[in-house]
Homo-oligomer: A and B are copies of this chain.
Amino acid sequence: MTDAFGRMLLDRADTEIIERSDGFISTSMLDYFAPVRRWAQVERRALRLVRGRVLDAGVGAGRVALELQARGRNVVGIDVSAGAVEVARRRGVRNVRLLAFEDVDASLGRFDTLVMYGNNFGLFGSPAKARRLLKRFRPFIGRIVAGSNDPYGTDDPAHLAYQERNRARGRMPGQLRIRVRYRDLADPWFEYLIVSPDEMAEILEGTDWEIRDSSATRARTTSPYSSRRSLWKPVSRVSDTGPR
């Protein structure tokens, strides 16, 4: 199995290279190892929304899981990258598993919180997949604390053209097809869904999930495919009114 992302973390490379399906290639400084003091303010603030037993989807090098463990949380980290799992384990994440996000089910037990930091709302992949997974998660996940950049916070012609092509194909504008490249490795292409606040709300319509709290902030860096603004969206179940 190719594991460019995992190899990149194992080597602690300083640059992440992402290729988009239109050939757009971007680099960013790696922040998978960033201690909490270097996180965006919006991510630090959202820590107080994280309760009880936690599932960290896309655990990466474990920066979020480690911080939550330090705060006394019981965390299960999952990642589709074997290298990431190894790195997170080595760095002290106590419970890490090699598991794709779409394979999460009740066999993992009940979680009070699913965290999807660092733009990982994107793991939902597409609106249809998001709704399917949200329905499946309903019985065993209490709330979701997820982040997404806003795809419309850009005036870059290359990004706008990509969004327009997506629209023409009936896809969401921020529905990215991307892959990680590292040295001579290229991971398989995967779908990564970047949504605006309104789009996130639309995806939840007709599910028994709703947005409880959201906040936006300026991102520290210019994100390759999306925006100069970062958006933070805690999404929590309507536990006080019951399923709609």
Contacts and interface: CB of A to CB of B under 8 A. Distances in A.
Contacts of A184: 22-25, 158
- 8 smallest A-B Cβ distances: which pairs? A24-B184, A15-B27, A158-B184, A25-B181, A23-B184, A27-B27, A24-B183, A22-B184
Nearest to A20: B184
Interface in A170-186: 181-184, 186
A216 interface: no
A215 interface: no
Of A22, A181, A184, most buried by chain B (CB within 10 Å of CB) is A184
Contacts of A183: 24-26, 158
Contacts of A26: 183
A17 B23 contact: no
Contacts of A186: 23
Interface string A109-151: 0000000000000000000000000000000000000000000
Interface string A36-57: 0000000000000000000000
Contacts of A158: 183-184
Nearest to A26: B183
A181 B17 CA distance: 11
A15 B15 CA distance: 10
A183 B26 CA distance: 6
Contacts of A15: 15, 27
Contacts of A181: 25
Interface string A221-243: 00000000000000000000000
Nearest to A23: B184
A192 to B, nearest CB: 17
6 contacts: A15-B15, A22-B184, A23-B184, A24-B184, A25-B181, A158-B183
A104 to B, nearest CB: 31
Of A25, A181, A186, most buried by chain B (CB within 10 Å of CB) is A25
Contacts of A17: 17, 25, 27
Nearest to A16: B27
